[in-house]
Structure 1
Amino acid sequence: MTDFTIKVIEIIQGIPAGKVMTYGQIAKSAGSPRAARQVVRILHSMSDKYHLPWHRVINSKGEIGLRDEELFNTQKLMLESEGIKFSTERSLPLKEYLWHHEDIDTY
């Protein structure tokens, strides 16, 4: 496993309940600002194995990016159960719920 992958896993594991991070924010914090798509792949392939709170990772617009209706609904319900309130069907007020990992100030 690469250092980047290890760092991404650690960052995602550290997102507290009721907070979210963006794919790009995680990539930047892990040392590779242009690797947001790699964060997606890591989440897809390693969420179960490493018990990652995958539902706390969203896109830079503050939206759930999943197109699969069942997974979308699952992610939304999981976020709502942690106290996150959505401003539209797909998006949440990012400034209110964004978690800032200690290595970065902004996404």
Structure 2
Amino acid sequence: MVGYAMNASHTVPDIPAHRVVNRNGVLTGKHHFGHPEEMQQLLEAEGLKIIQDQIQDFKTYFWDPNELEARL
């Protein structure tokens, strides 16, 4: 569902739609960007390493909202 919401907003600069990947760190939404490599380029500009459309060391970057909730 997040992907559908982000699809409508990926051209808005303030919304980091390029950060929405599937649960395994695969760039499944890259076809929604203007250029096929744009999503990967944006992520790499943030320091992530991508190989074959998958974020390497994904556990390091994964945001788990349940962890935040547990701390509150």
Regarding TM over 0.5, the answer is yes
| 1:54 matches 2:13 | no
Question: Contact 2:21 / 2:27 at 8 angstroms: preserved in 1?
Answer: yes
Q: Secondary structure at the match of 1:76?
A: helix
Query: Gaps spanning 5+ residues in structure 2: where?
Result: 68-72
Corresponding position of 2:44: 80
Determine the C-alpha separation between the residues in 2 that align with 1:39 and 1:74. 19
Give the alignment's TM-score, normalised by structure 1.
Answer: 0.50
Q: Work out whether residues 64 and 72 of structure 1, in 8 Å CA contact, stay in contact via their aligned partners in 2.
A: no
Counterpart residue number, 1:91: 54
Structure 1 residue 76 displacement after superposition: 0.3
Among all aligned residue pairs of Structure 1 and Structure 2, give the percentage whose two residues are the same amino acid: 23
Which structure's relative contact order is higher, taking Cα pairs within 8 Å and 6+ residues apart?
1
Provide, for residues 53-102 of structure 1, a one-character-per-residue CA deviation record: whole Å limited to 9, x for no partner: 0011100111000363854410100000000112x22111210211234x
Which AA in structure 2 matches 1:76?
Answer: Q
Distance verdict in 2 for CA 1:79–1:49, change over 3 Å: closer
If the length of structure 2 is used for normalisation, what is the TM-score? Answer: 0.69
For 2:19, give the aligned amino acid. Answer: R
2:6 to 35, 43, 49: 43
SS of 1:96's partner is: helix
Work out the number of aligned pairs and report it.
66
Structure 1, unaligned stretches of length 5 or more? 1-37
Cα RMSD over matched residues?
Answer: 2.6
Question: Quick one: distance in 2 between partners of 1:50 and 1:76?
Answer: 16
